[in-house]
Structure 1
C-alpha cells in the first residue's frame, strides 16, 4: 500500500480527541456545561485583554485554544500499559515524563502520552495522562492477590482495536476507512461501563484500601476519568463553577496566579456519584469521573523547577486547610521570590523561550553580534515563552485525592520506580526537559544562522 493513502497520525489523533469529547459529554453531561463555561470565560478574557488576543493570534494559538484538552486514564497491568503505548503510537502520541504519585500517597506511577514535535502540537496537542496501578504497594497480601487475579481475567481492548494496531504497525499507517474504524474501536477502551466485574463486598474491600484501586480493578475497562479544556483565566472559571451547578474542588492546584504564568494550574468539578450494578444483583454507586480545567504557562528549566519545587514545599504549611482565596494569597506571598517578568525569567535561565527574527531582523545587518539579549534589545530578535505541555505530580495527586474523597495513604510514599514503569511500558519515557531544551537551542541556532553566524549553540 502506498504511503500517500495513509491518514496522518495527527489527523487520527484529532479525530480521536473529538470523538472522545463527544462521548464524554454524552456520558457526563456536566462536562458539556464545563466546556460552555470555559468558552465563555475565554471569550470574555480575550475581549478584555486585546494584547493577549493579538499575541495568541500572532503565534497561531487561537485555533488550538479550543482543542487544547487532555484526558486521564488508569490501568492495572503492565500488559495493558504496553498495549496502550502501541495504541497511542498510532495517533503520534509518545510517553513523555515519569511521575511518581506515590510521593503524595496515591498508589500509581504515570506518564503522559502526547505529540512531541512543534507541527504535531500545533495540529492537535491532545494528550492522555496514563497511570499504572502499583499493586505491590497494597500491604494486605490477600487483597493484593485478589486484585491481581481480577485484572488477569479482563481484556480492555477490542479484537478490532488489536487488529488495527497491528495493521498500522505492519503497513506503516492506516488509510481513511481504517483510521475511522480504529477511532471507533479504540474509543471502547475508554467508555464507561456501569456494571462492575466484582461483587459489592470485593469492591468495598478494595475501596477501603484506596478508592483509586477499586476504580482501576473493578470494571471491564479503564474508563476515561476526566477530560480537560484549557482556560485563559482559571481563577474566573473556578468562581463561576458553583453558579453553573458544579461542585468545584476547594483549591486550584499548582502555582499562584502571575503576570507571567508558569507550568500548569488545574481545578475541577468533583467526581460524580454514579449508579453501579455489582455482581449478585447488588446496586451501589461509584465515584470517579469528573471534569477538569487547565491553564498553561511557560515551561521551566531544571533551575526554574528547582526553585518552583522549593517554594511549593515551603508553601504547604502556610496554605494547609485554607479556602481558595486565602490559599491563593498565601501561595502568592511565598512565590513572590519567583521572578514574574519574561526578561528576568529568560536572563536568569529559569524558563524556556523560542527565539525568532523580527521583521527588522530579517533585513538588518547585525554585524558580529551573537549575544541574543543584545539582539533582542536592538529589536532584531524576539523571544516568546515555550508553553509547558506536561504535568505536575503533586497537582495530579491533588486532583486525584479531591475526586476520590481526599484519600491518602502515607504507606505508599517514597516508592518511585522509573525502571519498573519503563519495563512495563516496553519503552523508555522521553525526558520532557530535554524536549524543551532542544526546541530552545534549535531556535537560537536558526536565528544566528539567519544572521550569518555559524557558531554552535550549546545550552
Structure 2
C-alpha cells in the first residue's frame, strides 16, 4: 500500500516549531526575546496602518509570528551534504554562497530555505549553514588533529539515517515517519554539555579561533541561535534592557529607513555555559545566543552593487562609540540611496510583486480600456506593486554577529581566496542564485497581471 505523504511545508513547520520549543528550554532568554518581538510587532502594526496593509497584500502577516531563522556550523563535507538531504525533505534548498573568511571567521556558508512563493508564505524557515574551513588553521599539526577529531563523529542518529534514506526512496514521509524524522533530526541540533576532547585540545583549538573549538570539540553542531523577525529593530534594540537582555553594541546591516532594505540584525550576547571535557575537567564555553532581525525589500544586482559600495564607504569611517552614532553615520552615507519604493522600483534597484487591484478588477469587469505599460497601470490604479521581502543574508552582518558573540574580538581577514567551488563540491550541488529567485517571483507576478488584463 502506498503511504500517504505529508507535505514538505508541514514537515518544515513541525521542525521549526520543535526547534523553537527546544531552544526555549535550553536558552530561557530566547523565550523572553519572543515576548519582546511579539509586543513590538503588535504595537508597530497598530501604529503603522500602511505597513499593516502592505504586509497583508504580500501575504506576510500570517507568516510573521512563525518566522524564524537558525544557524548551525558543521565540520566536514559529509556533514554538510547530509544536511542538504535532510533539508530537502523539508522543502529547503541551498541559496547563495557566503565567504565569511574575508571578515575573519574561518567558515563559508549557504542558507537552506524554501524558494517558491507558496512555501515562503506558509513558513519561510531558514537555516544559515556554515562549513569550517580547516585549511585556514595555520598550524599543520592542529589542522590534522582537528580533521581527525571530526572524522570520528557522526552527528546524526541511526534513526535519522534510516528516515533520510526512507524519505528519499518514497519521495517524502507519511505522518508517523515525519514525526519520528523531526524528533531524530532535532538531536543533531541539540546542545551537548560533554566535549569530545580534553581541555588542552579544546584550548589549542580555541586559541586558533573560538569558532573552530565550537565546531570541532562537541559530538554535534548544536543550533547556535534562533531568530524571530521584528518590524522595528530599533525599538527592539532599545527595549532589550527593559526585558533583562543585554544587546550587542550595534545593529548590523543598513541604517534605519522609511523603506527598509535587505536585512538588519541584532542579538543578545552569547551565554557562558559549563562544559565537561574528556578527562572530566569542568570548563566554560561560549557559543549560543539570541538574535532579532528586521527584513526589508530585496535589491536587484544594481541595487545591491550600490548598497555594497556605500557599505564599503561606511566601513572606512572611525568606529562609532555607540549604536546611535553608528546609525547616524550610516544614514549619512546611505542618503544617496532612494528611500521610497516607487523610485526603487522605477530605477530597477529592488524587486516587487505585481497584482491587479480591486479597483482594477472592477474596471476590467466594466470593460474599461487600460494602458499597456506597467508604470501607467500603477499610476492609474489598475495594478499595485508590493516589495518582495529579502529572504537571505549579508556576509558582513553575519560575520559581525558571529564576532560580537565570540568575545567581541576583531579577527583579521584570512589570507585566502573565496572558495565557492570547494563549498559546492562538499555540498554536492551548486547553490541557487538568490537574484534569479527574486527575479522569477517578480516575473511570475507580472505574467499573471498581463494574463488577467489581456496584455
- Please give the TM-score of this superposition, normalised by the length of structure 1: 0.96
Counterpart for residue 391 of structure 1:
393
Aligned runs of 1:148-297 on 2, under 5 Å? 148-297=147-296
Counterpart for residue 2 of structure 2:
2
2:87 match: secondary structure: helix
- Alpha-carbon shift at residue 368 of structure 1 (Å): 7.1
Counterpart for residue 379 of structure 1:
381
**Structure 2: distance between partners of 1:369 and 1:53:** 29
Counterpart for residue 303 of structure 2:
304
> In the alignment, is the contact (CA less than 8 A) between 2:54 and 2:386 conserved in 1?
no
Moved more, 150-159 or 400-409: 400-409
Moved more, 362-371 or 319-328: 362-371
**Structure 2: distance between partners of 1:394 and 1:211:** 18
Per-residue CA deviations over 1:83-105 (Å, capped at 9, x if unaligned) read: 00000111000000000101111
Aligned runs of 1:411-426 on 2, under 5 Å? 412-426=414-428
Per-residue CA deviations over 1:268-300 (Å, capped at 9, x if unaligned) read: 001000001011121110000000000000000
Name the CA shift for 1:338/1:142 in 2 (closer, same or farther; >3 Å).
same
Name the CA shift for 1:450/1:194 in 2 (closer, same or farther; >3 Å).
same
Can you give the 5+ residue segments of structure 1 that lack an aligned partner in the other structure?
454-459
**Structure 1: distance between partners of 2:286 and 2:178:** 33
- For residue 438 of structure 1, the aligned residue among 411, 415, 440 is 440
- Alpha-carbon shift at residue 451 of structure 1 (Å): 1.4
Name the CA shift for 1:438/1:59 in 2 (closer, same or farther; >3 Å).
closer
**Structure 1: distance between partners of 2:321 and 2:328:** 10
> In the alignment, is the contact (CA less than 8 A) between 2:87 and 2:112 conserved in 1?
yes
- Alpha-carbon shift at residue 146 of structure 1 (Å): 0.7
Name the CA shift for 1:275/1:368 in 2 (closer, same or farther; >3 Å).
same
- Alpha-carbon shift at residue 413 of structure 1 (Å): 4.6
> In the alignment, is the contact (CA less than 8 A) between 1:108 and 1:132 conserved in 2?
yes
Name the CA shift for 1:387/1:366 in 2 (closer, same or farther; >3 Å).
farther
> In the alignment, is the contact (CA less than 8 A) between 1:64 and 1:122 conserved in 2?
yes
> In the alignment, is the contact (CA less than 8 A) between 1:13 and 1:92 conserved in 2?
yes
Counterpart for residue 343 of structure 1:
342
- Alpha-carbon shift at residue 446 of structure 1 (Å): 1.6
> In the alignment, is the contact (CA less than 8 A) between 1:254 and 1:265 conserved in 2?
yes
**Structure 2: distance between partners of 1:413 and 1:348:** 37
> In the alignment, is the contact (CA less than 8 A) between 2:57 and 2:386 conserved in 1?
no
Per-residue CA deviations over 1:107-146 (Å, capped at 9, x if unaligned) read: 0000000000000011111010000000001111011001
Counterpart for residue 63 of structure 1:
62
- Alpha-carbon shift at residue 381 of structure 1 (Å): 1.0
**Structure 1: distance between partners of 2:369 and 2:208:** 67
Name the CA shift for 1:60/1:411 in 2 (closer, same or farther; >3 Å).
closer
- Alpha-carbon shift at residue 51 of structure 1 (Å): 2.5
- Please give the TM-score of this superposition, normalised by the length of structure 2: 0.97
- For this pair of structures, how many residues does the alignment match? 452
